Amino acid sequence: MKKLISACAVCALAVGLVAVPSAMGVKSPKQVGGAGSITVTPNPLPNTTTTATVSGNVASSSGCRKDRTIHFAWVNGTTVGPDLGVVATTRSNGDYTATVPRPTDTAPTTTSVTLRATVDALTRKVGSKKKGKKTKKGRVFNCMTFTSDSAAVTLTP
């Protein structure tokens, strides 16, 4: 009888040691990717026009759409140009709008280019909806960086 009781105690202790760490363990940050759409107007882009309007959307989980920073660069074939210095910020639904300068003409003159939008990485903490609580101790989301390209923008002389 003593052996049976001690065997049950050892089993209960083993089950308790297995169950407790998983119940109290720290959750790892969730990696959240995304995709984007980008539209350039006007297209074709006349030579007399000095700027173009860019609009688009960041498609990601709801926590990773709002307040994302987007940078733009023109792409000529496989060559990515410098950052245009234009920064857009997404609204709560992921939509954004910006005005970018016309691409500088390169030799030989190209007939079309694309616009690349790069969305910066961001870390979000969600949870703790109690009033007056300043630190959020809930789930952590790592919103990853990604790029998306527009359709070809035709340059007209």
Per residue in 2-55, pLDDT tens?
666 666 666 665 665 555 544 555 578 888 888 899 999 998 888 888 899 999
- For 100, residues 6+ apart whose C-beta sits below 8 A from its C-beta are 40, 51, 52, 54, 72, 84, 86, 115
Pairing of strands 139-143, 30-32: parallel
Whether the pLDDT of residue 155 is over 90: the answer is no
- Report pLDDT for 18: 56
- Report pLDDT for 150: 92
**What's this model's pTM, rounded to 2 decimal places?**
0.73
Q: What are the boundaries of each domain within the chain?
A: 29-126+137-156
CB-based contact 103:81 (threshold 8 Å) = yes
Q: Map residue 52 onto helix, strand or coil.
A: strand
Question: Cβ of 110: how many Cβ atoms within 10 Å?
Answer: 15
CA distance 143 to 58: 11
CA distance 152 to 129: 45
Using the CB atoms, write b or e for 32-41: b if 16+ within 10 Å: eebebebebe
Identify the band that residue 62 occupies on the pLDDT scale cut at 50, 70 and 90.
confident
117-130: per-residue pLDDT in tens?
Answer: 999 998 888 766 66
- Radius of gyration, alpha carbons of the chain: 26
94-121: per-residue pLDDT in tens?
Answer: 999 999 998 876 545 678 899 999 999 9
End-to-end CA distance of the chain: 97
The fold adopted by the segment(s) 29-126+137-156 is Immunoglobulin-like (2.60.40)
